[in-house]
Amino acid sequence: MEKKKALVLLEKYFLTTEETAVFLGISKQALSSLVKRGKLDRIEKGKISLFFKDDVERRKQEQSELRRKYRPYT
C-alpha cells in the first residue's frame, strides 16, 4: 500500500524530463539549457531527473508572457 501512495505522490507533484519537455513544447536540449541557466530546477536520483510540476507550470506561464512581449505578431 505504501508503494501506491508514493506513486500517487510522484504523479501528483513531479514530471519526468520527457513530460516536462512536452509540456513546455521544447526539446530536451532546450530543457537542459534552462536547467544550466538556472531557469528551472531539477531533482536527480541516479540517472533519473524529476521536475516539480508547480515549477514547470510557472515556467510555462513565463514563456507565454515572454512570447507575447517579444513576439506580439505570432
CATH number of residue 13's parent domain: 1.10.1660.10
Query: How many domains, in total, are found in the chain?
Result: 1
pLDDT class of 30 with cuts at 50, 70, 90: very high
Read off the pLDDT of each residue in 33-39 and give the average, rounded to a whole number: 96
CB 34, CB 40: distance < 8 Å: yes
**pLDDT digits 0-9 by tens, 37-59:** 999 999 999 999 999 999 999 99
26: domain range?
A: 1-71
Match 536540449 to its residue by C-alpha cell: 29
The reported pTM is 0.84
* Overall size of the chain counted in residues: 74
